[in-house]
């Protein structure tokens, strides 16, 4: 079992000058779910190398068991510092695809041709795809095998408008993910702010927020095991 994790390479919150990137919990929790299940995990990003970490996700109040485990895991840190470029990976080498969130993907994974082509190749190959928090944004320009938007008519979730307002970035992000998923025909649903909420529709898994990252990863594993 071999799983590809796609991380953002984008490190700035719009025109604010403030840093962003991927959210540590949304990478660390799935990484250990996959590794503990015996999967081989490969990391990639648009630019390759070390993806930017949203510093807020490494603050004391954002720490979880998974982030603490990562911060003491030299092997995982080395892997993260040396991600492959997106144009260096191929669907044939992997069984599933996973996108952690953070605000970065809103800027560099939505219209990235390598990311879109990779997702479409996984869909065409009948291999599961998962995305958490802001990362479902990477699905919004992808087309399914019928030529329609991939999320059209599918049960999906992602970072909610209420959660975006709570972090005071509604006017900073290029679009509100809840709105964009609905505009693409997605059957969007959400749970309470910051509580786990995962949607599985066929081979597509989406999670609403950081708390949804571990259950989304477990849902992806279930698909791989034929559950």
* Tens digits of residue pLDDT in 129-178: 999 999 999 999 999 989 999 999 999 999 999 999 999 999 999 999 99
* Two tokens, residue 152: 């059209």
Mean pLDDT to the nearest integer, 103-121? 97
Question: Does 119 have pLDDT greater than 70?
Answer: yes
Cα distances (angstroms) measured from residue 22 to each of 58, 101, 145, 162: 11, 6, 29, 20
- What is the overall mean pLDDT for the chain? 97
| Residue 116 binned pLDDT confidence (cut-offs 50, 70, 90) | very high
Q: Does pTM surpass 0.85?
A: yes
Predicted pLDDT at 86:
97
Distance, C-alpha 113 to centroid of its chain? 17
Residue 15's SS3 state is: coil
Mean pLDDT to the nearest integer, 101-125? 97
Mean pLDDT to the nearest integer, 86-100? 97
Cα distances (angstroms) measured from residue 131 to each of 15, 59, 84, 208, 209: 26, 23, 19, 9, 10
Mean pLDDT to the nearest integer, 35-55? 97
CA dist 184 and 10 (Å) reads 24
Predicted pLDDT at 42:
98
Q: Residues 91, 121: contact at Cβ < 8 Å?
A: yes
Q: What is the CATH number of the domain that holds 155?
A: 3.40.50.880
Q: Residues 217, 30: contact at Cβ < 8 Å?
A: yes
Question: Does 226 have pLDDT greater than 90?
Answer: no
CA dist 22 and 120 (Å) reads 22
**Structural domains of the chain, count:** 1
pLDDT tens-place string over residues 174-207: 999 999 999 999 999 999 999 999 999 999 999 9
* Closest alpha carbon to 71 in 82, 57, 83, 85: 57
| Residue 227 binned pLDDT confidence (cut-offs 50, 70, 90) | low
Rama region for 208: left / alpha / beta (φ>0; ψ in -120 to 50; rest): alpha
| Residue 25 binned pLDDT confidence (cut-offs 50, 70, 90) | very high
> Which structural domain range is residue 47 located in?
2-224
């Amino acid at each position: 079992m071999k799983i590809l994790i796609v991380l953002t390479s984008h490190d700035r919150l719009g025109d604010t000058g403030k840093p962003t990137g991927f959210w540590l919990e949304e990478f660390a929790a799935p990484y250990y779910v996959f590794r503990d299940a015996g999967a081989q995990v490969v990391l990639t990003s648009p630019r390759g190398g070390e993806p930017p970490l949203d510093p807020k996700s490494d603050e004391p109040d954002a720490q979880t068991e998974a982030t603490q485990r990562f911060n003491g895991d030299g092997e995982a840190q080395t892997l993260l510092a040396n991600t492959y470029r997106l144009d260096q990976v191929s669907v044939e080498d992997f069984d599933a695809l996973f996108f952690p969130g953070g605000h970065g993907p809103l800027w560099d994974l939505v219209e990235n041709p390598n990311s879109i082509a990779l997702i479409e190749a996984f869909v065409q190959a009948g291999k599961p795809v998962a995305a958490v928090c802001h990362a479902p944004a990477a699905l919004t320009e992808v087309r399914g095998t019928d030529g329609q938007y991939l999320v059209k008519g599918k049960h999906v979730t992602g970072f909610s408008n209420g959660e975006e307002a709570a972090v005071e970035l509604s006017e900073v992000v290029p679009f509100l993910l809840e709105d964009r998923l609905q505009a693409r025909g997605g059957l969007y649903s959400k749970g309470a702010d910051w509580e786990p909420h995962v949607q599985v529709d066929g081979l597509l898994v989406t999670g609403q927020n950081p708390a949804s990252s571990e259950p989304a990863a477990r849902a992806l594993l279930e698909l791989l095991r034929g559950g």
